[in-house]
């Protein structure tokens, strides 16, 4: 979680530094794409604040009303962030771009736009580098896409996607703004805004899909279930593991339920002792499993 906070704080600092300058540059130069970039940075700043809030809420200890803790707060706020990227970032940028294409205005001297874009690229690029570096620490040799699919911590890859979309958007805006000003084609500035919006919409769908899956109660991987079943079956009192149910309460906390078929000759006390042994072995082998419920069959 500390690594996640580092990448979120770096992204927050970058977005705060450039959001205001983008709006000022866009207003002075009549650039639709710069206004879209300003919207993008403002949304990203809000998103980082929401992620930090979600991380803080997820650390609340369990209580009577939430016996398994508040870990899923992080998944909820990550889903909210994905909706904000779509609604405030993507949709508004596309709308702004369409308006500028329908009613094109010649751009004034874009000098300050380029200054802001270059500075933004430096800040966003640095933030992306930090986010990628932190995410690489959690991949454990997996390919990028596999690591994202298997990750139970949306905060770890959400910042990578946000910063990646920001860098891609800045490059698109710089290229099309240059062509628009050089050849006096103001519609291209609106097109840049639409492309930025489409990039954000694409990113929002990926993030929403992953956050929703975790929020709905995604369980442990099949290979992990198999390992846990074999571990339980090593106990002499177990005939077989009939079923395993699981859900991630947070990236660092799993709730596990096993339905186990014990030997027929065991009495209640022996089954209780066996359950205690199995529970301790699972927790020792899999530190993320905080709660183990074992139901004899």
The pLDDT tens digits of the residues spanning 125-144 come to 888 888 888 888 888 778 88
Predicted local confidence at residue 4, as pLDDT: 62
| Mean pLDDT on 17-29 | 78
Of 8-12, 147-151, 258-262, minimum mean pLDDT range? 8-12
Which is it for the CA torsion 105, 106, 112, 113, positive or negative? positive
Examine the pLDDT at 51 and tell me if it is beyond 70.
yes
Tokens of 114: 């380029």
| Mean pLDDT on 212-234 | 90
Examine the pLDDT at 297 and tell me if it is beyond 60.
yes
Q: Do residues 285 and 269 touch, judged by C-beta distance below 8 A?
A: no
Partners of 240 in the β-ladder: 261
Which of 190, 213, 234 shows the shortest CA–CA distance to 93?
A: 190
Examine the pLDDT at 271 and tell me if it is beyond 90.
yes
Cα–Cα distance list, 216 to 27, 113, 200 (Å): 43, 43, 24
Examine the pLDDT at 260 and tell me if it is beyond 60.
yes
CATH number listed for the domain at residues 222-296: 3.30.70.1350
Examine the pLDDT at 1 and tell me if it is beyond 70.
no
The single residue listed with the structure tokens 């809420």 is 57
1-216 topology per CATH: Alpha-lytic protease prodomain-like (1.20.1510)
pLDDT band for 98, please (50, 70, 90 cuts): very high
The single residue listed with the structure tokens 């959690």 is 138
Q: Do residues 8 and 77 touch, judged by C-beta distance below 8 A?
A: no
Predicted local confidence at residue 16, as pLDDT: 78
Predicted local confidence at residue 3, as pLDDT: 52
Mean pLDDT of the chain, nearest integer: 86
> What is the percent of the chain with per-residue pLDDT over 70, rounded to a whole number?
98
Examine the pLDDT at 244 and tell me if it is beyond 60.
yes
Predicted local confidence at residue 261, as pLDDT: 95
Examine the pLDDT at 204 and tell me if it is beyond 70.
yes
Predicted local confidence at residue 27, as pLDDT: 76
| Mean pLDDT on 23-37 | 75
Residue-range domain boundaries for the chain = 1-216, 222-296
The single residue listed with the structure tokens 């097109």 is 191
Helix ranges (DSSP H) in the chain: 2-29, 32-58, 73-84, 92-102, 111-139, 144-150, 154-182, 187-215, 222-233, 268-285
Q: Do residues 37 and 144 touch, judged by C-beta distance below 8 A?
A: no
Predicted local confidence at residue 35, as pLDDT: 78
Specify burial of residue 286 (Cβ count, 10 A radius: 0-12, 13-18, 19+): middle
* Cβ atoms < 10 Å from Cβ of 234: 10
Cα–Cα distance list, 156 to 9, 73, 153, 179 (Å): 12, 15, 6, 36
What is the distance between the alpha carbons of residues 85 and 44, in angstroms, rounded to a whole number?
8
At CA 234, angle to CA 232 and CA 236, rounded to 5? 105
| Mean pLDDT on 212-236 | 91
pTM: 0.77
User: Best-predicted range by mean pLDDT among 14-28, 30-44, 205-219?
Assistant: 205-219
């Amino acid at each position: 979680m500390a690594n996640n906070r580092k990448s979120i704080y770096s992204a927050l600092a970058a977005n705060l530094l450039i959001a205001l300058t983008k709006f000022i540059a866009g207003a002075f130069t009549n650039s639709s794409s710069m206004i879209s970039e300003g919207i993008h940075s403002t949304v990203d700043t809000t998103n980082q604040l929401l992620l930090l809030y979600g991380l803080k809420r997820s650390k609340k200890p369990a209580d009577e009303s939430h016996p398994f803790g508040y870990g899923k707060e992080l998944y909820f706020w990550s889903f909210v962030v994905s909706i904000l990227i779509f609604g405030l970032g993507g949709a508004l940028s596309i709308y702004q771009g369409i308006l500028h294409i329908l009613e094109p205005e010649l751009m004034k001297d874009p000098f300050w736009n380029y200054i802001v874009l270059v500075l933004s690229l430096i800040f966003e690029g640095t933030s992306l580098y930090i986010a990628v570096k932190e995410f690489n620490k959690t991949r454990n040799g997996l390919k990028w896409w596999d690591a994202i699919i298997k990750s139970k911590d949306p905060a770890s890859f959400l910042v990578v996607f946000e910063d990646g979309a920001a860098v891609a958007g800045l490059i698109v805006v710089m290229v099309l703004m240059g062509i628009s000003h050089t050849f006096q084609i103001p519609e291209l500035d609106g097109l840049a805004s639409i492309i930025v919006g489409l990039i954000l919409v694409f990113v929002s769908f990926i993030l929403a899909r992953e956050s929703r899956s975790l929020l709905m109660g995604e369980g442990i991987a099949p290979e992990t279930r198999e390992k846990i079943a074999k571990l339980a079956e090593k106990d002499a009192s177990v005939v077989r593991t009939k079923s395993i149910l699981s859900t991630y309460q947070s990236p660092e906390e799993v709730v596990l339920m096993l339905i186990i078929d014990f030997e027929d000759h065991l009495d209640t006390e022996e089954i209780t002792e066996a359950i205690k042994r199995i529970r301790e072995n699972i927790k020792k082998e899999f530190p993320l499993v905080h709660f183990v419920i074992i139901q004899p069959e």
